[in-house]
Amino acid sequence: MFVRKLVLPLFVATLVSLWGALAFAAEYKVDPGHSFIEFRIKHLGYSWLYGRFDTISGEFGHDPAKPESSRFSIEVETASINTNHAERDKHLRSKDFLDVKKFPKSIFKSMSFTGDAKGGVIEGELILHGVKKKISINVEKVGEGKDPWGGYRAGFIGKTTLSLKDFGITYNLGPASKTMEFELGIEGTKK
């Protein structure tokens, strides 16, 4: 009886506390028309080749008062790769690189955020080319506020570098092209 009198109030207090935390965290849906994932890789060590993925989706949660609770879930359709060159894009979609028929999606899910309301580092798991690997993304908050259509938006920009070999992509592009630099611009509308 004593245990019930002690445990029940603690359980209720915990639920109220969790509900309160969830109620004040803002949830956002990624706006694909105002978000991007771009990359660059050295071409023979002489110049940079730039590209992007045209089809992305996802959601994120952000509370400026509790930035450590920030979370991101982003999905990319790998066949949407676009380097502004049809034959090269066809090759990048092939088994030599992304193998988009076998691996049509790449997914990133954050596990933790270290930083403040202005930015920090997101740690998470990226699934690319069928390989799941922990990565870090340096992220900066661009801004948040009301939009002209009566909604509310928030936006972030992030950067990371990935090794192709870490994700099972072993096609030989030469010694200067073993890593790719990524820049992500994510804007979301509040749900």
* 4: pLDDT strictly greater than 60: no
Distance between CA atoms of 148 and 91, rounded to whole angstroms?
42
**What are the phi and psi torsion angles at 8 (to 5°)?**
-60, -50
Q: What is the pLDDT of residues 22-40, one digit of tens each?
A: 444 699 999 999 999 999 9
Task: Write down the pTM of the prediction.
Answer: 0.84
Residue 173 has pLDDT above 70, yes or no: yes
- Interval 89-114: pLDDT, tens: 999 999 999 999 999 999 999 999 99
pLDDT in tens, 116-147: 999 999 999 999 999 999 999 999 999 999 99
Is residue 5 very low, low, confident or very high in pLDDT (cuts 50, 70, 90)?
Answer: low
State the average pLDDT for the chain. Answer: 90
d(CA 135, CA 50): 21
Long-range Cβ pairs for the range 82-91 (8 Å, 24+): 82/51, 82/52, 82/53, 82/54, 83/49, 83/50, 83/51, 84/51
* Range with the poorest average pLDDT among 9-13, 71-75, 85-89, 160-164: 9-13
Angle at 62 between CA 60 and CA 64, to 5 degrees: 165
Instruction: Please state the rounded mean pLDDT for residues 11-21.
Output: 42
**Interior CA angle at 110 toward 69 and 137, to 5°?**
105
Distances in Å between the alpha carbon of 86 and those of 80, 128, 169?
12, 22, 20
Our count of domains for the chain comes to 1
Confidence of residue 16 (pLDDT cuts 50, 70, 90): very low
Residue 184 pairs with which residues in a beta bridge? 37, 158
pLDDT of residue 23: 43
Contact (Cβ atoms closer than 8 angstroms) between residue 128 and residue 142 = no
Do 72 and 35 meet the contact criterion of CB atoms below 8 Å apart? no
Is residue 156 within 8 Å of residue 116, measured between CB atoms? Answer: no
Task: Give pLDDT, residue 10.
Answer: 44
In terms of residue numbers, what domain contains 36? 25-190
| Domain CATH for 31 | 2.40.128.110
* Residue 129 DSSP label: T
Amino acid identity for residue 177 in this structure: S
pLDDT given at position 21:
41
Residue 14 lies in a domain: no
Per-residue 3-state assignment (H helix, E strand, C coil) for 111-128: EEEEEECCEEEEEEEEEE
Judged by phi (left if over 0) then psi (alpha if -120 to 50, else beta), residue 42 lies in beta
H or E segment and range at residue 160: strand 152-163
